[in-house]
Amino acid sequence: MVPLGPAALTRPASDGRYGSMGAVPTVARWWSSRTDPQRIDLYTRSSYYSTLVFVPVLLLFSVSPDWATSSTWQPLVLLGSSVVTTAACLVLTRRGFRDRTAGPDRPALLVALVAGLVTVLAALAATGAGPAPAAPWVAGLVSAAVLLALSVTVPTRPLVAGAAVTGVLAGAVTAAEGGPPATAVVVGASIGVAVGFFVTAFRFSVWILDVVLEMERSRAVQAQLAVAEERLRFARDLHDVMGRNLSAIAVKSQLAAELVRRGRDGAAEELADISRVAEESLREVRDVVRGYRRTDLPGELAGARSVLRAAGVGVTVTGEEDAVALPEPVQAALGWVVREAVTNVLRHSRASWCSVELHAVGGEAELRVANDGARGTETTWGNGLTGLAERLAAAGGRLSAGPDGDRFVLAATVPVGVPA
């Protein structure tokens, strides 16, 4: 036995003998970078594929204790046909996940059924003469694999009917092996019920996946509709402001041109009126743009609640009554904080809840936005938080942001009465 020195004791375990843990953070980042619908989709697919891959192994282990012959062709046929069945079922499953509205792939289904029948016959031949408890379960496993592949696209009722047919097939195999009728009925019923529960459980997971994907699409459509509605609102306001004035400018321009052409008086007055209407239009457009860009704190709090709920984030907002009483400069400064905080929650976290708290005590207004989407202990600020801190500093306020346990907290404080 060779003694270990201090260098050996302090040497890391990633020297090649025990492998390296460097891939674990990569896998964790790969998993955390996916959305919840993508995770559910990945989990559902992997459940199907891993279950189907183990079908040949389960068949061999279930039949091997009943082998009554020294010949090797029956086990080889059993293994080959079960592998073909599994491959055809994998093709059915893959194409079903690709397009669940197209129905099962008929050539792959035919191959799976024929190879499954060969598997059952090979199991009967491999078990020899006399009753073989494993033979009915081979029929059940093969039928379960085919029904599992079909469950991606086929509704529940046909799958339950297929499970009943599986029970009848298993009972027939038991009777063909020489088992008593009562035993055939019990075995067939047991296998049929087991296959029915097994297949409907997987079908339920596909239904959950469809519901989650539909909700994700609904949220995307809702966000697009909100953007379109805001564009229409702005276009409507701009049209209402500019339509009448531009029409007046066009009419007065034509009138001034006609007066000049005919050499009559009044053209100068019309041109002066055109200048006045143009200046008025410019002022009204600036008012529209200013109102569009203005940050109203009560409106920002209501918008934050609506946007976060639309994104599936549970949100609580407190202190809205204090927001109404704050001076307009303070509302503007804290309104930018709400916008940036909500943007960070939606873009840079996987939060399931978010709380927005506003307090105005002791001559200061404090806004705290917390969520449970903190990742690690990274505290580097991006351009958004940096610009927000500069905006608050100009108003005499301060900003802090960073993880607090399993939460991420953004806090902003602005003195009441200091211009923003």
pLDDT of residue 2: 41
What is the spatial distance between Cα 197 and Cα 203, in angstroms, rounded to a whole number? 10
Q: Which of 402, 331, 403 is nearest to 367 (CA)?
A: 331
φ and ψ at residue 53, rounded to 5 degrees: -65, -30
Q: Which of 141, 108, 106 is nearest to 122 (CA)?
A: 141
Amino acid at 37: P
pLDDT band of 122, cuts 50, 70, 90 = confident
Say yes or no to pLDDT of 208 above 50. Answer: yes
Outline where 99-180 has alpha helix (H).
Answer: 106-126, 134-150, 156-176
**Which contiguous run of DSSP H or E holds residue 26?**
helix 23-32
| Length of the chain as a residue count | 420
What is the spatial distance between Cα 117 and Cα 107, in angstroms, rounded to a whole number? 16
pLDDT of residue 25: 57
Report pLDDT digits (tens) over 95-120. 989 887 777 888 888 888 888 888 87
Q: Which of 203, 205, 281 is nearest to 243 (CA)?
A: 281
pLDDT band of 290, cuts 50, 70, 90 = low
Tokens 């109404």 appear where? 324
Q: What's the burial of 370, exposed, middle or buried (CB within 10 Å: 0-12/13-18/19+)?
A: buried
Say yes or no to pLDDT of 203 above 90. Answer: yes
Confirm if 127 and 68 have CB atoms less than 8 A apart. Answer: yes
Compute the 3-state secondary structure of the chain and give helix, strand, coil in percent, each to the nearest 5.
70, 10, 20
22-36, 166-180, 196-210, 345-359, range with the lowest pLDDT? 22-36
Return the higher-pLDDT residue of 380 and 271: 271
pTM above 0.85, yes or no: no
pLDDT band of 220, cuts 50, 70, 90 = confident
What is the spatial distance between Cα 246 and Cα 395, in angstroms, rounded to a whole number? 39
What is the spatial distance between Cα 415 and Cα 64, in angstroms, rounded to a whole number? 81
Say yes or no to pLDDT of 128 above 70. Answer: no
What is the spatial distance between Cα 125 and Cα 140, in angstroms, rounded to a whole number? 17
Looking at the chain, the whole-number percentage of residues with pLDDT higher than 70 is 83
3 state DSSP class of 5? coil
Q: What's the burial of 342, exposed, middle or buried (CB within 10 Å: 0-12/13-18/19+)?
A: buried
What domains can be seen in the chain, in order of their start residue?
34-217 (no CATH), 221-293 (1.20.5.1930), 297-415 (3.30.565.10)
Report pLDDT digits (tens) over 295-311. 578 888 887 887 787 66
Report pLDDT digits (tens) over 60-84. 777 665 555 545 677 778 778 888 9
pLDDT of residue 377: 45
Tell me the pLDDT of the chain averaged across its residues. Answer: 79
**Mean pLDDT of the 121-145 span:** 73
Count Cβ atoms below 10 Å from residue 35 Cβ, excluding itself.
11
Confirm if 381 and 389 have CB atoms less than 8 A apart. Answer: yes
What is the spatial distance between Cα 34 and Cα 176, in angstroms, rounded to a whole number? 52
pLDDT of residue 15: 44
